[in-house]
Amino acid sequence: GESVGLHLPTLSVQEGDNSIINCAYSNSASDYFIWYKQESGKGPQFIIDIRSNMDKRQGQRVTVLLNKTVKHLSLQIAATQPGDSAVYFCAENGGYSTLTFGKGTMLLVSP
């Protein structure tokens, strides 16, 4: 089946830096992508989503970029804070609420 993968397993940054987490997807027919944040002992928390008719979407301190040409997705976190430390997953929606997740990137933020 189709899969979504991440380039980096761990990303370490300093507090205040900007963080970029990348994701490659393989299903060119996917039209909806989501980023989730998962803290230890908790379920994934919705961060931001983007549909295939867009190439950029901004939220509070977060921006998602979609490059359909190379099937690449990225999450940018501005002014990263220690509370941003978590595992970040990208996911693509395969219809009927079926999410295919990447393996996740752990973001470590040092004070």
Partner 1 sequence: KAGVTQTPRYLIKTRGQQVTLSCSPISGHRSVSWYQQTPGQGLQFLFEYFSETQRNKGNFPGRFSGRQFSNSRSEMNVSTLELGDSALYLCASSLRDGGDTQYFGPGTRLTVL
Residue 24 has φ and ψ, to the nearest 5°, of -110, 140
**Which of 71, 101, 106, 108 touches partner 1 by CB under 8 A?**
101
Least gap, CB of 49 to partner 1 (angstroms): 6
Q: Does the protein bind partner 1 through residue 63 (CB under 8 A)?
A: no
**Which of 29, 42, 53, 60 touches partner 1 by CB under 8 A?**
42
Q: Does the protein bind partner 1 through residue 89 (CB under 8 A)?
A: yes
- Strand ranges in the chain using DSSP code E only, listed in sequence order: 4-6, 10-14, 19-25, 32-38, 45-51, 56-58, 62-67, 72-77, 86-93, 99-101, 105-110
* Cα–Cα distance for residue pair 98/94, rounded to 1 Å: 5
* Positions that interact with partner 1 (CB under 8 A): 1, 32, 34, 36, 41-46, 49, 89, 91, 93-104
